[in-house]
Amino acid sequence: MTRRIVTIMLAIVLAAIGTVGVLFYGFSADARARARITDAVTVVVAKARIPAGTAGARIQAEQMVRTERMPRSAVPSDALAAVGSEFDKLVVTSNIAEGQILLKANFGQQSQVTSGLELPDGKMAVTVQTGAPQQVAGYVRPGSEVAIFLTYKLLDKAGQETKIQRTRLLLEKVQVMAVGTYTPPRDTKDDTETSDDASARNGTLLVTLAVDQKEAERLILGLNTGSLYLGLLTDAVQVKPGGGVENTDKDSNVNSIFE
């Protein structure tokens, strides 16, 4: 009888200890949860995939993100609490997956990327072919600004070419995006000549320029009707459109090459 009483009492004590342990664990977990809530921060999360190039203004207008509360310790330091007006003209530089937290680093200046060329906003890439002298003997580099001159033959009233040539400023200031060497097809009649020799003899260079539509039209027409010459610009150089010069001594509104 005494053993049974002792066993029952021991079971009651163990049950009480277990209950206290469970309650203590529950209170501790609740305290930790409360601590996480009180130390939480607001972040913006993508509702769906946001493609690269999406402007901040569009993200706001189309409500492409939602806000969530998350523990500060689990959030990157540059996480955004909102996509504010300061991001209106910036764009997402890479794809953002659904559920991903938006960071300041996700946004950058708006640009257009084409085959590795980062173009200014509103510009397209157009490549022209020039010789080495016309390209300032190789001193024109990516990032340079150049003026472009065009030499062409004048047409008479019947639309026929005359012997009068004129050189005028075609484009005042154009940014150079890339410069490369064009290797012409190998002359099969001369097997001893290498393609490098032919390229050196030809001296042809390709210059890729950033232009808008009107500039591209003028540039392409000039390339197909005359010859182009580049002038390397600095901040101290200013060029202005004008009538140009002609290879004649006649009295006209255009300067003679000899004046």
What pLDDT, in 10s, does the model give residues 37-60?
567 889 999 999 888 778 899 999
Query: Which residues 6+ apart lie within 8 Å of 90 measured at CB?
Result: 55, 56, 107, 108, 109, 110
Sorted by where each starts, the structural domains of the chain and their CATH numbers stand as 40-110 (3.90.1210.10), 117-256 (no CATH)
- Assess whether pLDDT exceeds 80 at residue 109: no
- CA 73, distance to chain mean position in Å, is 34
Q: What is the pLDDT of residue 128?
A: 85
d(CA 204, CA 149): 17
The whole-number average pLDDT for the span 23-27 is 54
What pLDDT, in 10s, does the model give residues 184-203?
555 555 555 444 444 444 45
* Between 6 and 246, the higher pLDDT residue: 246
